[in-house]
Amino acid sequence: MTRVGRAAVYDAPNAPFVVREYPVRPVKPREVLVRVTMSTICRSDIHSYEGRRPNPVPGILGHEIIGVIEEIGAGVERDMRGDPLRVGDRVTWTEYFFDGECYYRDVLDMPQKCQGLRKYGHDRADEDPHFTGGFAEFCYILPGTGILRLPAALSDEEATPLNCGVATVMSVTEAAAIGMGDTVVIQGLGLLGLYGVAIARARGARLVIGLDAVPARLEMAKRFGADLALDVARLGDDATVRAVRDVCRPDGADVVIEVCGVPDVIPHGLGMLRVGGRYVLGGLVNPNADVTIDANVILRQWITLRGIHNYHPRHLIQALDFVVANRSRFPFAAIVDSRFSLKELDVAFRKAAERTVLRAAIIP
């Protein structure tokens, strides 16, 4: 008898999810089969769902996933850190996988940009092995994925966002080269921004300022260590720039990080920086993010402008270690503030898109 599992299938942008069954076959060598315990809705899932970026159909969205190992294929013995992997272990894994030769990985140490790299939550559900997305009962971890065993102390709410949101923020804040005594501005206080506040603090920032237009997020930013959380909708853009420059003495912020996904914030962010400041883009994941900037500002102000997409496997290890070490200091679990079943995925997506929930969890 063939075993089957359920998945909430995405058939077309903006169409309701349909719960369907697919066969669950035994693992092949170098694969791991996981029973999903929790997955969370990332902003990029919403972009896919609303049709702003291409995703194959029928598909299973969701790439922030954790689960418990059901079967381990031949050749998989240890996780990225060297800890043994066994059936019953709860694990997280890199949101992308690539198995083959790669110039970017082998020569340039950028495995996250390998050409032909695949991502969980971005494959067709009607093809073997069917289960490669988070909004389902099972997920196959495929060859070329970095796996990490999760310590028992970590809750599912703390562990699930690690492999996209938190690891990405590790990568973004590393690229921003935040140093001791820096002043840091974070544009956007969703999951990435809240973790960004906490990680900037941990990296030695003396002053961290969070910007958003949702009052509940501004309150939350303070719990994550922000010295100042400014309501950009109430203040307006010019007054926000002035308020930031006023506290980042003598001449503006050392670092500005964009994690809100809105291109219009870029000119304002540039206006907050001191001469020689660094601006890192981490949230503009959808194409056609057009914006007009005065490039002379970049030249005259000696601005370093960087884009960061995906993360290196080391950032997933750092993300896990950071959350384990700081879970009593910051309320990480509070970010995952709602729970839904597979059948409720439409409601979960609607609430996540409206930003009435911070991070919606799906428990299949």
Give, as ranges, the residues between 160 and 219 that touch Zn ion (CB under 5 A).
164
User: Residue 269 gets which letter from DSSP?
Assistant: H
Closest residue to Zn ion, based on beta-carbon distance:
42
Contact with Zn ion (CB under 5 A) among 20, 32, 39, 44: 44
Provide the token pair at 326. 């700081």
Residue placing its CB nearer to Zn ion in the complex, 133 or 210: 133
E-strand ranges in 44-131 read 64-72, 90-93, 96-97, 118-119
Residue placing its CB nearer to Zn ion in the complex, 22 or 135: 135
Minimal distance, residue 49 CB to Zn ion, in Å: 12
Residue placing its CB nearer to Zn ion in the complex, 44 or 132: 44
Q: How many residues bind Zn ion (CB under 5 A)?
A: 3
Residue placing its CB nearer to Zn ion in the complex, 44 or 160: 44
Minimal distance, residue 118 CB to Zn ion, in Å: 14
Report strand pairing: 273-281 vs 253-258.
parallel
Q: Return the range that interacts with Zn ion (CB under 5 A); candidates 39-47, 76-84, 85-93, 269-277.
A: 39-47
Rounded-to-integer distance, Cα 208 and Cα 229, Å: 9
Minimal distance, residue 165 CB to Zn ion, in Å: 6
Contact with Zn ion (CB under 5 A) among 7, 32, 41, 42: 42
Rounded-to-integer distance, Cα 98 and Cα 110, Å: 12
| Separation of CA 300 from chain center | 33
Label residues 148-163 b or e (16+ Cβ within 10 Å = b): bbbeeebebbbbbbbb
Minimal distance, residue 144 CB to Zn ion, in Å: 19
Q: Return the range that interacts with Zn ion (CB under 5 A); candidates 36-44, 174-182, 200-208, 248-256.
A: 36-44
Of 46, 312, 22, nearest in space to 163 by CA: 312
Rounded-to-integer distance, Cα 49 and Cα 66, Å: 21
Residue placing its CB nearer to Zn ion in the complex, 170 or 270: 170
Minimal distance, residue 235 CB to Zn ion, in Å: 29
Phi, psi of 121 (to 5 degrees): 80, 15
Residue placing its CB nearer to Zn ion in the complex, 42 or 335: 42
Q: What distances in angstroms separate CA 260 from CA 189, 263, 265, one per listed residue?
A: 7, 8, 8
Per-position x/- string for 307-326, each x denoting binding to Zn ion as judged by CB under 5 A, each - no binding: --------------------
Minimal distance, residue 234 CB to Zn ion, in Å: 29
Q: Return the range that interacts with Zn ion (CB under 5 A); candidates 38-46, 212-220, 225-233, 320-328.
A: 38-46
Give, as ranges, the residues between 135 and 164 that touch Zn ion (CB under 5 A).
164
Q: Return the range that interacts with Zn ion (CB under 5 A); candidates 21-29, 34-42, 148-156, 227-235.
A: 34-42
E-strand ranges in 214-335 read 228-231, 253-258, 273-281, 304-307
Contact 172, 308 (CB under 8 A): yes
User: Residue 142 gets which letter from DSSP?
Assistant: P
Residue placing its CB nearer to Zn ion in the complex, 119 or 201: 119
Q: Return the range that interacts with Zn ion (CB under 5 A); candidates 15-23, 40-48, 82-90, 201-209.
A: 40-48
Q: Is there a cis peptide before residue 54, judged by omega within 30 degrees of 0?
A: no
Q: Which residues bind Zn ion (CB under 5 A)?
A: 42, 44, 164
